Structure formats: C-alpha cells, structure tokens
Amino acid sequence: MSWAGISLLLLLPLLIAFWGLRRIWRTRKPNEPPLDRGVVPWLGHALEFGKDSAEFLTQMKEKHGDIFTVEIAGKFVTFLLDPHSFDAVFWAPSDKLDFGKYAEILMDRMFDVRLPTSNMNKERAVLKSHFQNESLTDLTKSMFHNLNIILLNGSSCPISEWKEEGLLAFVYKVMLRAGYLTLFGRESEQHSDSHSPAKDVRHSQEVYKEFRKLDQLLMKAARKTLSRGEKKEADAVKRRLCQLVTINSHKDKYCKSSWFEYYRRHLEEIEVNEEMQSRALILQLWATQGNVGPATFWLILYLLKSPEAMLAVKGEFERTFQSFKDRNTDIKEINQDLLDNMFILDSALNEALRLTAAPFITREVLADMSLKLADGREFRLRRHDRVCLFPYVSPQMDPEVYRDPEVFQYDRFLSANGTEKTFFYKNGKKLKYPNLPWGAGSNVCVGKRHAVNSIKQFVCLLFFYFDFELKNPSEKIPEFDRSRYGFGVVQPNQDISFKYRRKS
C-alpha cells in the first residue's frame, strides 16, 4: 500500500469523528429556521416525535412558528407547517429536494425491495395514464364486479340474520380483497363462471390474512424498531405473501388492470429477479390498498355516529338509485356520472379524510439551498437534512381554517348550491391546499380517482344490500393508533363492533 493510501486510512477516522462532532455541536446559523435539538445529544426529540407526532409538532409550532428544525435520532428535519408555502417544497427542483432517496430507504426497510435507480417522474407520468380516462372506466367496472363478489359471495351472511364483526376488520377485508382482484386479476373473464368467484373469494382471503399481519408490523419496520421476534415474524409473513402474489402466478389471470401489465413489463425490463419482483408486488399491494380500507372504515364509522350525516348521505343514495328500487332489480353498474354527482357523499368522505389522513410529505435536501415562503421570508436549508410537511396539523386541524376542526361535519365541503366547496382561508388568503389526504404537486397520488370511486361504490352497495348498525351505538369512537402518523390514513387503536345483515 502507498503512503498516500496509509495516510488516507489514518485520516479517515479523524474525518468521520470531525463530521460527527460538527453535527453534535450544530448551532443555528443566520437565516436558518429555529433549531430545537432537545436535551439528549443525537437522540434529540425522537421519543416525543415517535410517541405522538401530531401533538409534538403542534407544540413545536406554538413555540417556534410555521418553520423549525428539530433533531430526531441524529437526523435534522425541517418542518414547514405554513400551507400557503407548500408549493416551495412541492415544485422545488429535484436536484435540490428529492423524494426518491427517502422512498428507497422505506422500500428497503419495510419490504426488502431494492430496485435499480430510475426516473421516478417519468414512471409517475406513465403510471398516471393507467388510472385515468378509459383505464379509470375499466377499473371502476372491475371494482364494482369484485365488490359484488366479495360482499355477496364472501360475506357468509344469510339473508335477514344479523352477523357481528369488527367494523375495521369487515371494511378493510372487503376493500383490500376487491382492490387486489381489480388490479392483479381474477380467475375468469366470464362473470357467469360459477367456479371462479369461489376461487377468487378463497385466494383473496388468504392474501388479506397475510397482508393484515404484515400491515400491523410495517410501522415498526419503517422506524427500525422491530424486536427480534417481530422481525422473524415479518420475514415469514413476507415470504408467504410472496408465494401468494407472484408475477408468474398472475400472468394467466383474467381482467388484470393495464397498470399491472405495465408494472410487470417494467420489472422485467429493468432485469429484476423473480424474488424481487414478488417483493415489489407486495409493496405495490400496500401502496395501492393500504389506505383505502382504513379511509372507508372512518367514513362508515362517522356516518354511524352522526344520524344527521347518515340521513343526508342515505337520502342522496336513495334519490340516485331510486329507479333500481322501483324495478326491484340489482344494481348492474355504478358509472362515473353517478359517482361524480354524489356531492354529499363526496363531502362526507373529504371530511373523514381531513380528520384521519396524516401523511408526512418528505424530501431529502441534496444541496445547500434557500427556501422562500409565501410571506417573503427566506430560510437556508443544509445539505443532508430533510424537509417535511405535515398537513394534518395545518391546514387540516387548524382552527383558523376549520371551525371546530376536531368535529366531523359531513357538509363542511358542500357549497350553498350543493356542489363541492373549495374556498377555505388562512390569514385572510384563500388556501390552494385546504385538505391534502392525497398529497399534491409532483407526488400527488396517481390513483386518487380510482380510490375515491372504490370507496363510494362500496358505500352504495352497502346501503343497497345490507342493514347495518353499531352493536353499541353509545360506544366512543376509538383513539388513533398514533404510530401510524406519517404513513397515510391512520387506523384505530382498537376495532369497534358492528352488526349487519342482508336485506330480504
């Protein structure tokens, strides 16, 4: 080895130590956001943040204002909580603020997925085409058919007999299984095939059973806090899911979505091996279905807990589908025009999402940069830090934007003429983003309209075919599982019992 090489080896530990000490001794520089490092070096605010992110960030906002930097387990994160300034992050150049690096970290931690680096913006543009126009129409038709399969063939509920179940368990099970069949395909192209529904019911139930086990471990996996036993369990569940959901086993299925065919070809083109392909499919199953079930659960629960809201939404449903009742026939289709004109249901869904959708919108800072806020202030951000928006705190739960923000008001997003209300204000200015359950900017959820259509179809079919009510109407709405903050729609910390029966 040369003297230069030996010198480098000797200097490397010193350089690493120097870099570490600089982070330990980090102080706020001019024009940087307020810096709050907590009491314990390196750990910083990790415990408070992990325990209840929403409460912690609300307290930090009261202390420091709409922008501040905190240390969390050695990472410096700048939180921006001024919704008027979100565009500064949404539309920042990708060579300054990057979404992909953090996404890759989570993909590896949660699903053991490691894919070749690719152009994410280009991929999103292609993916978007598979969830709109004719593709959206096909998805809506397929989801309607699959909801019927699961609800009517898979509910095992005799007509007129009440059955008790956890509301989250029931809703999540139906939505994930129907969504899985819609995107990944089913056994037969012919809706009249008497054998295929039974196969699809059984297979989708197996997928849901394993998925739900994994879903309950993913938040710890994302934060690297799984115990040894939990890590072993998560690995075993992922292996079983990979056996159930493989590229090869789905090649010959019928009614696969155009999205699935595109994604299958994409994985083959980037030369991903078969095992990694299966892992990637499990990741996509969670990404496409992991929020839809919980969102539907909260909507149904809020309706059940609000007689006024239930009456209004049910009244709109009955007016929309009166012709089917008059003819005493089943609903054969719920097309886009019908779905788009159910404004009361839309408002109730938006309100349920406002109360429960709590994703972090995160970017890695790739280079020292200046972030200009809507009020003209500019703040310097450091390379290797992270920027995070948390719309749940503001605007969604901001009392200046929404009166009584903790209360479910089904008509909050209805205008005086009965159409969607889009005008909400903060500091006297109209908000561009008053509610952000689906993200925004370059990272808005490409499957938003399909997800909304699926939820609304489920509600309509539930109204049409079932009577349902809470087992104990006076039971309180469950608290949130606060470990879910940051990953989309939160889930309850416990289920709530309801009962349902097929109408005669």
Q: How many domains does the chain have?
A: 2
140 part of a folded domain: yes
* Pairing verdict, β 466-470 and 425-426: unpaired
289 part of a folded domain: yes
Question: Tokens representing 208?
Answer: 């849901």
* Per-residue confidence band for 179, with pLDDT thresholds at 50, 70 and 90: very high
Please give the helix or strand (H or E) that residue 302 lies within, else none: helix 292-305
Residue numbers in the known binding site for substrate are 109, 115, 291, 386
- Note whether 167 and 92 are same-domain residues: no
Per residue in 112-162, pLDDT (tens digit) is: 999 997 767 777 777 888 998 899 999 999 999 999 999 988 666 667 789
* Per-residue confidence band for 10, with pLDDT thresholds at 50, 70 and 90: very low
Q: How is residue 156 annotated by DSSP?
A: -
Q: How is residue 398 annotated by DSSP?
A: -
- Note whether 267 and 211 are same-domain residues: yes
Residue of higher predicted confidence among 194 and 337? 337
Residue numbers in the known binding site are 109, 115, 291, 386, 445
Would you state the pLDDT for residue 316? 97
Per residue in 252-300, pLDDT (tens digit) is: 888 889 999 999 999 999 999 999 999 999 999 999 999 999 999 999 9
402 part of a folded domain: no
Per residue in 395-447, pLDDT (tens digit) is: 999 999 999 999 999 999 999 999 999 999 999 999 999 999 998 877 789 99
324 part of a folded domain: yes
Tokens 């249901």 correspond to 345
Tokens 């609300």 correspond to 58
413 part of a folded domain: no
Strand partners, 131: none
Per residue in 77-86, pLDDT (tens digit) is: 999 999 999 9
Tokens 């000797």 correspond to 10
- Note whether 156 and 76 are same-domain residues: no
Question: Tokens representing 130?
Answer: 């598979």
- Note whether 262 and 336 are same-domain residues: yes
Q: Is the pLDDT of residue 23 over 60?
A: no
CA terminus-to-terminus distance, the chain? 85
- Note whether 51 and 75 are same-domain residues: yes
412 part of a folded domain: no
**How many angstroms separate the Cα of 138 from the Cα of each of 132, 149, 256, 373, 484?**
9, 17, 10, 42, 32
Determine contact, residues 314/304, Cβ cutoff 8 Å: no
Residue numbers in the known binding site for heme are 445
Q: Alpha-carbon distance 58 to 48, whole Å?
A: 12
Q: Alpha-carbon distance 270 to 129, whole Å?
A: 20
- Note whether 98 and 166 are same-domain residues: no
Cis link prior to 395 (omega < 30° from 0)? yes
Q: Alpha-carbon distance 44 to 36, whole Å?
A: 8
- Note whether 186 and 323 are same-domain residues: yes
CATH number at residue 255: 1.10.630.10
Q: Is 308 exposed, middle or buried (0-12, 13-18, 19+ CB in 10 A)?
A: exposed
Would you state the pLDDT for residue 369? 98
Q: Domain range spanning residue 26?
A: 3-111+360-392
406 part of a folded domain: no
- Note whether 380 and 461 are same-domain residues: no
- Note whether 165 and 279 are same-domain residues: yes
- Note whether 342 and 464 are same-domain residues: yes
- Note whether 341 and 371 are same-domain residues: no
Q: pTM of the entire structure?
A: 0.93
Q: Which of 349, 454, 458, 360 lies closest to 411, judged by CA?
A: 349
- Note whether 236 and 295 are same-domain residues: yes
302 part of a folded domain: yes
**How many angstroms separate the Cα of 52 from the Cα of each of 44, 48, 358, 454?**
15, 6, 12, 31
Determine contact, residues 351/344, Cβ cutoff 8 Å: no
Q: Is the pLDDT of residue 6 over 90?
A: no
